[in-house]
Structure 1
Amino acid sequence: MPLKILAYGANGAQMSAGTQALVDAGHAVRAFTRSPKGAERWQAAGVDAFTGDMADLDALRRASEGQDALFMHVPLITDPNDDRNAYGLNALRAAKDAGITRVVWNTGGPIMDPSSTTDPGAVLWRTLQEDGFSFLGLVPITYMENLLGPWTMEGLRQGKLLYPTPEPFKMQWGAAADFGRVADKALQGDLPNEVLRLGGPAALDGDDLARIMGEALRRDLTYDVMTPAAFEAQLSIMAGARVAGMIAGMYGGVQANPDQFQPGFLTDPSEIEARFDLKLTSFADWVSDHRLHFTQQG
C-alpha cells in the first residue's frame, strides 16, 4: 500500500538512493533537505520537496503534516556546531505532534553505548521506545557508495581499486538503496521495534572487490591500499577537514589493528533478507548499475 513518507536527509550521500527507492516503490515521498538545490532536484523529478533546517521545530512540524511515516537519518559525524541530539529529537517531536507513529531510521553508524546521553543514536533509540513509536533501526556496515569517491577514479586510471583497508580485511558493503528497499517492506507490516545491522550479502576483501569490479567493467584491476593520510586529503575536499579526519582516523585504526575492528564490519544478511522478503544488492549488480559513472570518469 502506498504511504506518505517524510524522508529526512533525502539529499545526503547516505539517504538519497534510499529515498529514491521509496519513490520507485510507489510511495508519495516528501524529501526534506536544507539545500535549495537539493529540493529543486527532487522537484524536477516529480517528488514533493521541503526545504528547511532540522533545528527549526516549527518547520519540521509543517513538513510532518499529513504524513504516514518517517524515513530518517541523523549523521554520525557533523559540523561541531550542529546539535545532532536536537535534530533527531525535533524530528520525533514534530512527528508525534502530527500523529506519525511509524519510523524507519538509519542510525548512521553503530550505537556503542545505548545508555549514552551524548550519542545521538542512543538518545533516539531510547526516545523511540519511550514515546511509543513503532520503529525499525538500521545500522549501516559500510556503503558501496564510498567507492564513488575520487580515490576510486584515481585508482581506475592506474588499473587499481584503491581503499584504505588492508587487502585481507573483509567488509559487507551495502548499497544505500537497500535502506529504502528495506523501509518499503518494513512499513507494509508490523515494525519490529528493533535495531538491526544492514550490510551487503557477502563479506568481501580487497581482492574480491577488485575482481568483481573488474569483471563488471570488463577490465583488469588489482587492489591497492591507500594510506589514511591520502584518503583524508581527498575526502576533506568533499566532506570537510573534521569529518575527513575522523573517518581517516578510523581507517588508521583498522590498518593498525584489523583483528580488533573486523567483527564490526561483518553481519549475517539472512535475518534482514528473510524477515523482509528481499535480496540485498550484490556488489556486482551495484557496480553494473553505476557503470556509466566509472567508465566516464575512470
Structure 2
Amino acid sequence: MIVITAPTSRIGSRLLDTLLNEAPAHGEELRVIVRDPAKLPDAVRARVDVVTGSHDDPEVIDRAFAGADAVFWLAPPDPRAPSLDAAYSGFTRAAAKAFTAHAVGHVVGVSALGRGTPVASRAGHVTASLAMDDLIASTGVAYRALANPTFMDNLLRQVASIRDDGVFTDTVSADRSAPAAAARDIAAAAAGLLLDRSWTGTGEVPVLGPEDLSANDMARIMTDVLRRPVRYERQSLDDFRAQLTGHGFGDALVEGYVDMMRAKDNGLDDGVQRTPQTASPTTFRTWCEKVLEPAVRVQA
C-alpha cells in the first residue's frame, strides 16, 4: 500500500496519475489523503482508497497509515502558518510518530536543494524544509528527500503577465544561471522510488533538470516558443515582500520567502553537481511547449 499526500497538488497529481498507470503491475494498492475528495476526478476516486482530512491530523494519519508500506510526503503551503517550523516540522510531527507506530517502511518527501551550502542556515523555507527532512530521518524510516531547485511550473502563476505584457519577474540576478526542474520530473522521481523500494537508509535525490539557465535565457526561450517578445524584470526584495503581504501571507512566511530568494541569488542551488543520476529530462524549452504555451493559449 502506497499513501499519497497532497494528491491534488502539481506534483502530487502527476505522481498519482503515474502510479495509477504503473502500480497495478507492481501489485501495489493506492491510498490518498485529501481534504476535499470532490477535487479528485470520479475515475480516480473509483481506483484509490480515499482518507478525508488533513495530513497533519493524528487521527487522519492513523487511518491512512494503517497497513501502509510507503508514503509520499508533501507539506502543503499554508499562508497562515504562525512560523516556518509550524509550516514544515510542526505539520509533519504527527506523521513522524505514525511512521514508527505503523511500521511504515519507506517515505519519499518533497524538499529542496541547499544542504551543506554556506547559506543553508539562512534560507527561510529551504532551511525549514531541511529541518523537516531531519525530523523524518530521525524516526528510523528509510527516507529519500527529493532535493529540488526552483520549479519551472512556478511560472504558471504569471501566465497573465506573460501573455498580456510579455513580462515575467523574479528576484534573482538576470544573468545568474541555476537549475530548474519540471513538476512532472519530480513526480517521476518519486514514483520510481515508491515502486522500487530496494533502497535503505536516508539520503537526498537531487532533481536538477538537464541544464542551468538564467532568467535572460528563459526569456529568450519563452520568446521563441510563444512567438511573442518576453522579457525578464528583476523585482526588488522589498517589492517581493510587499507583494506577498498583499496576498495575505503572514509575516513569518513572508520573511521566509524573502530569505529563501536572497539565498538563491547567493548560490543556494549551486551545491550539487549535475550527473546522469541527478539530471532530469525535461528541458525548459520542452516545458514551455508542453505546459506554458497551452496555458497561455487557454487564457487568451
* In structure 2, C-alpha distance between the alignment counterparts of 1:200 and 1:169, rounded to whole Å: 16
- Corresponding residue number in structure 2 for 1:156: 163
Alpha carbons 2:146, 2:190 under 8 Å: kept = no
Q: How far apart are 1:184 and its partner, in Å?
A: 1.8
1:177 aligns with 2:184: yes
- Corresponding residue number in structure 2 for 1:46: 44
Alpha carbons 1:105, 1:136 under 8 Å: kept = yes
Question: Residues 109-156 of structure 1: CA distance to partner in whole angstroms, max 9, x if unpaired?
Answer: 64546xxxx94633543542x443222111221111210113x42143
Alpha carbons 1:141, 1:266 under 8 Å: kept = no
- Corresponding residue number in structure 1 for 2:214: 205
Query: Relative to structure 1, is the Cα distance of residues 155 and 241 closer, same or farther in structure 2, using a 3 angstrom cutoff?
Result: farther
Query: Relative to structure 1, is the Cα distance of residues 102 and 238 closer, same or farther in structure 2, using a 3 angstrom cutoff?
Result: farther
1:32 alignment partner, SS class: strand
In structure 2, which of residues 253, 256, 267 is the aligned counterpart of residue 262 of structure 1?
Answer: 267
- Corresponding residue number in structure 2 for 1:100: 104
| Structure 2 unmatched runs, 5+ | 122-126
Query: Relative to structure 1, is the Cα distance of residues 238 and 15 closer, same or farther in structure 2, using a 3 angstrom cutoff?
Result: farther
Q: How far apart are 1:213 and its partner, in Å?
A: 1.8
1:178 alignment partner, SS class: helix
Alpha carbons 1:207, 1:223 under 8 Å: kept = yes
* In structure 2, C-alpha distance between the alignment counterparts of 1:166 and 1:24, rounded to whole Å: 41
User: Greater CA deviation, 185-194 or 141-150?
Assistant: 185-194
One-letter amino acid of the structure 2 residue matched with residue 168 of structure 1:
D
Query: Relative to structure 1, is the Cα distance of residues 227 and 182 closer, same or farther in structure 2, using a 3 angstrom cutoff?
Result: same
Q: How far apart are 1:181 and its partner, in Å?
A: 0.6
Query: Relative to structure 1, is the Cα distance of residues 172 and 120 closer, same or farther in structure 2, using a 3 angstrom cutoff?
Result: closer
User: Greater CA deviation, 119-128 or 65-74?
Assistant: 119-128
* In structure 1, C-alpha distance between the alignment counterparts of 2:224 and 2:164, rounded to whole Å: 16
Question: Residues 178-214 of structure 1: CA distance to partner in whole angstroms, max 9, x if unpaired?
Answer: 2221122223142253123322211000121012222
* In structure 1, C-alpha distance between the alignment counterparts of 2:246 and 2:19, rounded to whole Å: 30
CA RMSD in angstroms comes to: 3.1
Alpha carbons 2:5, 2:74 under 8 Å: kept = yes
Alpha carbons 1:107, 1:121 under 8 Å: kept = yes
Residue pairs, 1:107-146, within 5 angstroms? 107-108=111-112, 110-111=114-115, 112=120, 119=128, 121-122=130-131, 124-125=133-134, 127-128=136-137, 130-146=138-154
Query: Relative to structure 1, is the Cα distance of residues 126 and 213 closer, same or farther in structure 2, using a 3 angstrom cutoff?
Result: same
2:277 alignment partner, SS class: helix
1:247 alignment partner, SS class: helix
* In structure 2, C-alpha distance between the alignment counterparts of 1:141 and 1:18, rounded to whole Å: 18
Alpha carbons 1:20, 1:180 under 8 Å: kept = no
Q: How far apart are 1:238 and its partner, in Å?
A: 5.5
Aligned residues: 277
* In structure 1, C-alpha distance between the alignment counterparts of 2:248 and 2:295, rounded to whole Å: 20
- Corresponding residue number in structure 1 for 2:5: 8
* In structure 2, C-alpha distance between the alignment counterparts of 1:20 and 1:236, rounded to whole Å: 34
Alpha carbons 2:162, 2:230 under 8 Å: kept = no
Alpha carbons 2:208, 2:278 under 8 Å: kept = no
One-letter amino acid of the structure 2 residue matched with residue 287 of structure 1:
C
- Corresponding residue number in structure 2 for 1:147: 155
Query: Relative to structure 1, is the Cα distance of residues 87 and 236 closer, same or farther in structure 2, using a 3 angstrom cutoff?
Result: same
Q: How far apart are 1:161 and its partner, in Å?
A: 3.1
* In structure 2, C-alpha distance between the alignment counterparts of 1:173 and 1:149, rounded to whole Å: 16
Q: How far apart are 1:87 and its partner, in Å?
A: 2.9
Question: Residues 72-93 of structure 1: CA distance to partner in whole angstroms, max 9, x if unpaired?
Answer: 0225876117463343232132
- Corresponding residue number in structure 1 for 2:124: none
Alpha carbons 1:168, 1:206 under 8 Å: kept = yes
Residue pairs, 1:33-112, within 5 angstroms? 33=34, 35-36=35-36, 39-47=37-45, 48=48, 49-74=50-75, 79-80=81-82, 82=86, 84-108=88-112, 110-111=114-115, 112=120
2:144 alignment partner, SS class: strand
2:30 alignment partner, SS class: strand
Alpha carbons 1:60, 1:91 under 8 Å: kept = yes
Alpha carbons 1:172, 1:267 under 8 Å: kept = no
| Structure 1 unmatched runs, 5+ | none
